[in-house]
Amino acid sequence: MTVYTLAREAGFTVEAGADAEDREVKGVYCCDLLSMVMGRAKADTAWITVISNVNSLAVASLADVACIVIAEGVPVDAETRAKAEQQEILILSSPLPVFETGLAIHRCIGAAE
Amino acid sequence: MAMSDEIRLRFEISGDDFTRAGEASSSVKKELKKLGIDPQAVRKVAIAMYEGEINMVIHANGGAIDVVIHPDCIDMILKDNGPGIENVALAMQEGYSTAPDNVRSLGFGAGMGLPNMKKYTDEMQIETERGVGTTVTMKVHI
């Protein structure tokens, strides 16, 4: 399942990366500690976090995740959004808490397989 | 690349500028990808270098990173004039961090920077002197 399809089916908003290449989502990873994400998130996963800043972008890019999903409806500021557009990083926003967000993604991916 | 070829890249890292942290690692990642280097090796270099870059921003008021791309390996030399690492053995322990609270609220300070750097490289050396600075040398085989 691709990021855009996931956003549609799970009811998440696309916050940034509207022009970025759509990517396949192959799993879910949840964590807010950036070093842990760098070391442990697998490539092509949807990374769920409540840390919404430019540093999350660098981590997403280097760890090569499919997208960032900002949970709990935490706002994404303009600078982060602009940088994400520039670096073609997909950011989704979920109104749900981290666990429910992960569960929703997991169900969407599972249903698509 | 022919055996004699090497590519040298140099980056100045400014201290305390979290909005720019990661730019050096990102450009190295792009460069390595362009050269067609194995994605696993690229990922290792990118992670190790980003952790080092962030350390320099958080703890050392910036510094300089030299990256040398050889046909069979990639060397990274990270040099700062920061306060030095008081206890390297402790700093190498997962979960140990001296990062201040304002940095933690950004998602840093997991105490995994140096452990990640060691984990993702094939060789790593730390030379540090209190009040003088730290030089971390890392190698990733291709």
pLDDT in tens, B56-78: 999 999 999 999 999 999 999 99
Q: Within an 8 Å CB–CB cutoff, is residue B4 touching chain A?
A: no
Residues of chain A with C-beta less than 8 angstroms from the C-beta of B28: none
Q: Within an 8 Å CB–CB cutoff, is residue B21 touching chain A?
A: yes
Range of the domain at A24: 3-112
| Domain regions of chain B by residue span | 7-141
pLDDT > 90 fraction of chain A, expressed in percent and rounded: 82
pLDDT at position B28 is 96
Residues of chain B with C-beta less than 8 angstroms from the C-beta of A62: 22, 25-26, 29, 43, 46-47, 50
| C-alpha–C-alpha distance, residues B54 and B46, integer Å | 12
ipTM above 0.90 for this complex: no
Q: CATH no. for residue A53?
A: 3.40.1390.20
pLDDT at position B18 is 85
Burial of B48 (0-12, 13-18, 19+ CB in 10 A): buried
Superfamily of domain B7-141: Histidine kinase-like ATPase, C-terminal domain (3.30.565.10)
pLDDT single digits (tens) A87-102: 899 999 999 999 999 9
Q: What's the total number of domains in chain A? A: 1
Taking residues A17-44, report their average pLDDT.
91
Best CA proximity match to B29, nearest among A60, A74, A111, A76: A60
Is pLDDT above 70 for A23?
yes
CB atoms within 10 A of CB B129: 11
Q: What residue in A sits closest to B18 (Cα-Cα)?
A: A55
pLDDT single digits (tens) B7-43: 999 999 999 888 888 889 999 999 999 999 999 999 9
